[in-house]
């Protein structure tokens, strides 16, 4: 991820770097429907996804029908280190994550996983997405229930068996130890800054891919 506020010279250099290392997402992959999913028993469930900079992950899921809210934050580490400055060191255990509250009668957890592996993140990159490097940018799922854990692992196995990707999937399924919302300036960053260079190069294409590949699930 790039600093939100930077002198023009630095911003220019960062933009050039983003162009030199374009987003490597699975935007051209259409992952299959999950064989295993979770039946809806309520109108409100929560899931946590990590797949690179949380600006893009939040931006994609905020355009999915059935998503009630998408919040950028940190997961994988402790509350004491859940800040942008500390997580950016890559030594806190945190991954930049997004908490998605959704209505499973509209969009299931399995469907959210399908969108994740299709357009949100490249699951074959270890500790990296697009121009970003570090464990805080890892591809990870943080199930909030045994059912979510089963479905997540089963779907990764399904994708691997079908050889959907040209390289092994390295997405981890990690114990959920808590979610800590990020600072206010990181919330709804894409919606508030649609022309920010990093967003234009790395994240807007993900939303475009969502609209093309999952038209029935897309909302403006």
CATH number at residue 139: 3.30.1060.10
16 inside domain: no
In a domain, 164, yes or no: yes
The residues annotated with a catalytic role in the active site are: 53
In a domain, 6, yes or no: no
Digit-coded pLDDT (tens) for 77-110: 999 999 999 999 999 999 999 999 999 999 999 9
Q: How many domains does the chain have?
A: 1
For the chain, give the percent of residues with pLDDT over 90: 87
Could you tell me if 181 and 75 are in contact, meaning their C-beta atoms sit under 8 angstroms apart?
no
* pLDDT of the residue at 3: 55
Alpha carbon distance 20, 33 (integer Å): 33
pTM of the model: 0.89
- Full domain range(s) for residue 157: 42-213
DSSP letter (8 states) at residue 146: H
């Amino acid at each position: 991820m790039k600093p939100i506020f930077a002198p023009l010279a630095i911003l220019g250099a960062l933009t050039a770097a983003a162009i030199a290392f374009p987003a490597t997402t699975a935007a051209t992959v259409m992952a299959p429907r999950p064989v295993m999913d979770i039946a809806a028993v309520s109108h409100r469930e929560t899931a946590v996804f990590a797949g690179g900079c949380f600006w893009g992950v939040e931006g994609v899921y905020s355009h999915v029908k059935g998503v009630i809210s998408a919040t950028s934050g940190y997961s994988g580490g402790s509350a004491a280190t859940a800040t942008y400055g500390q997580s950016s060191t890559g030594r806190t255990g945190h991954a930049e994550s997004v908490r998605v509250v959704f209505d499973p009668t509209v969009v299931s957890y399995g469907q959210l996983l399908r969108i994740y592996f299709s357009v949100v993140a490249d699951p074959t990159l270890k500790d990296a997405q697009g121009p970003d490097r570090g464990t805080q940018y890892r591809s990870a799922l943080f199930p909030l229930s045994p059912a979510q854990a089963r479905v997540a692992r089963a779907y990764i196995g399904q994708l691997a068996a079908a050889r959907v990707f040209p390289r092994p999937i390295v997405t981890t399924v990690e114990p959920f130890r808590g979610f800590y919302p990020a600072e206010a300036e990181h919330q709804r960053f894409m919606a508030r800054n649609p022309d920010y260079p990093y967003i234009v190069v790395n994240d807007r294409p993900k939303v475009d891919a969502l609209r093309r590949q999952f038209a029935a699930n897309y909302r403006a």
